[in-house]
Amino acid sequence: MTKTQVYTDIDYDKEGKQQGYLRIPHSRDSSGWGNLFIPITVIKNGRGPTALIVAGNHGDEFEGQVCIMKLARSLRPEEVNGRIILIPALNFPAAKAGKRLSPVDGKNMNRSFPGERQGTMTSIIAHYVTHFLLPISDIILDLHSGGYSMQFIPCALMHKVENPDQYKKMLEALLVFNAPIGFLMREVAGEGLLNEEAEKMGKIVIGTELAGSGQVSPTALKIAEVGTRNVLIHFGLLNGEIITRESQGLPPTRLVESPNRKDYVMSPADGIYESFYELGTEVKKGQPIGQVHFLDRVDWEPEEVRAESDGLMICRRGPGLVERGDCVAVMARDVKNSGSWIKE
Ligand code: CA
């Protein structure tokens, strides 16, 4: 049995609704024997799959946190067939501070997986998720937004996993989320991600990028709420009808990918970034998409930023200030054949 420093009075096998905490030793100057309490809700009713739904993996991404808190309050056990585990703010210290990274150890939760039992706070939380929550879950929803630094057209996303059966189930879940964009990702962000850890275990794993810029976008929140419910209905965890985009008078989910590093445009300099376009604009390779202004050299011409690939601008820089190397735009192209990498 794997050990953990996390203690909880939640019994994952108990029927009904439990609201409690994951408690982690948090010894500090002001509280020698103190604990960090991370809220968790578990709703179990009879047989059925288990869905783990988390947000606040990055603390400055708020739509998912609000979506899960509302679900945690409203869901009643008799509505559920199976088990739903809800954690609105996984990196709790980061969420309390409204920061991407944890103020306790400076770590990025979504680069800390699989985590370490005797690591720092963020790593201890990741270790618990890896060894105690992922193994008992069938479906994992990790709700992200653009955070303070980025803004997205709200999208559901997934990785291109190689197992055809897993891929097919994930793609169905992605589409049933009914977001404006379905984003098929090859990761450029680095290693240590929650979703990659879950994918390795063969789980059905879906993420989101819901608006961002450190706000709670009403449009993105609605998409998250409808999408999360749809996924739970799709897997039989809730009864009810899936709310399609068509039934809301909206065009179908547009399936896109950004497979190349050139699809991620980085700022060439420090300064103020001026985007020439709003999200959702179609741009061509070589087209100027923005420019960086130099605050202390008004006599200098701004430095032009060009798209390095054709595509739909699905993401852009949130705040005006940029540093060299900051992502200022992401270009995506339509997926021609979403089944093309399934080995039949
Ligand atoms: Ca994120």
- pLDDT at residue 337, as a whole number: 72
**305 lies in the same domain as 246:** no
Distance 84 CA to ligand 1 centre (A): 22
Distance 58 CA to ligand 1 centre (A): 5
**168 lies in the same domain as 279:** no
Distance 290 CA to ligand 1 centre (A): 24
Distance 109 CA to ligand 1 centre (A): 10
Distance 304 CA to ligand 1 centre (A): 27
pLDDT in tens, 100-110: 999 999 999 99
**21 lies in the same domain as 169:** yes
Grouping H, G, I as helix, E, B as strand and the rest as coil, residue 220 is helix
CATH number at residue 332: 2.40.50.100
Q: Which residue has the higher pLDDT, 191 or 16?
A: 16
**29 lies in the same domain as 76:** yes
Note the helical H segments in the chain.
62-74, 92-97, 121-128, 164-176, 194-200, 218-234
Q: Where is the domain boundary, 215, 242, 257?
A: 257
Burial of 328 (0-12, 13-18, 19+ CB in 10 A): buried
Residue 4 forms part of a structural domain: no
Q: Which of 2-11, 85-94, 124-133, 335-344 has the lowest mean pLDDT?
A: 335-344
Number of independent structural domains in the chain: 2
Distance 297 CA to ligand 1 centre (A): 34
Distance 57 CA to ligand 1 centre (A): 7
Q: Where is the domain boundary, 207, 227, 257?
A: 257
pLDDT band at 188; cut points 50, 70, 90: low
d(CA 33, CA 28): 8
pLDDT above 80 for 330: yes
Residue 149 forms part of a structural domain: yes
Residue 9 forms part of a structural domain: no
pLDDT in tens, 223-273: 999 999 999 999 999 999 999 999 999 999 999 999 899 999 999 999 999
**83 lies in the same domain as 119:** yes
Residue 120 forms part of a structural domain: yes
Distance 52 CA to ligand 1 centre (A): 17
Residue 299 forms part of a structural domain: yes
Distance 153 CA to ligand 1 centre (A): 14
Distance 92 CA to ligand 1 centre (A): 14
In angstroms, the Cα distances linking 311 to 47, 259, 330 are 45, 12, 9
**202 lies in the same domain as 332:** no
Distance 315 CA to ligand 1 centre (A): 13
pLDDT above 80 for 186: no
Distance 144 CA to ligand 1 centre (A): 5
d(CA 155, CA 273): 24
Work out the average pLDDT over 321-332. Answer: 97
Residue 99 forms part of a structural domain: yes
Which domain, by its residues, includes 246? 16-257
pLDDT in tens, 14-39: 999 999 999 999 999 999 999 999 99
Distance 143 CA to ligand 1 centre (A): 8
d(CA 68, CA 86): 7
Distance 118 CA to ligand 1 centre (A): 25
CATH number at residue 52: 3.40.630.10
- pLDDT at residue 1, as a whole number: 77
Cα first-last separation, the chain: 38
Helix-then-strand count for the chain, H and E: 6, 19
**107 lies in the same domain as 34:** yes
Distance 142 CA to ligand 1 centre (A): 9
**233 lies in the same domain as 268:** no
Residue 186 forms part of a structural domain: yes
Residue 10 forms part of a structural domain: no
Q: Does pTM top 0.85 for this prediction?
A: yes
Distance 208 CA to ligand 1 centre (A): 9
**146 lies in the same domain as 68:** yes
Distance 204 CA to ligand 1 centre (A): 19
Work out the average pLDDT over 315-324. Answer: 97
Distance 163 CA to ligand 1 centre (A): 25
Work out the average pLDDT over 291-318. Answer: 97
Distance 15 CA to ligand 1 centre (A): 32
Distance 91 CA to ligand 1 centre (A): 11
When the pLDDT of each residue in the chain is averaged and rounded to a whole number, the result is 95
Distance 300 CA to ligand 1 centre (A): 35
- pLDDT at residue 343, as a whole number: 38
**239 lies in the same domain as 131:** yes
**323 lies in the same domain as 210:** no
Distance 145 CA to ligand 1 centre (A): 5
d(CA 132, CA 134): 6
Q: Where is the domain boundary, 257, 291, 314?
A: 257
**160 lies in the same domain as 96:** yes
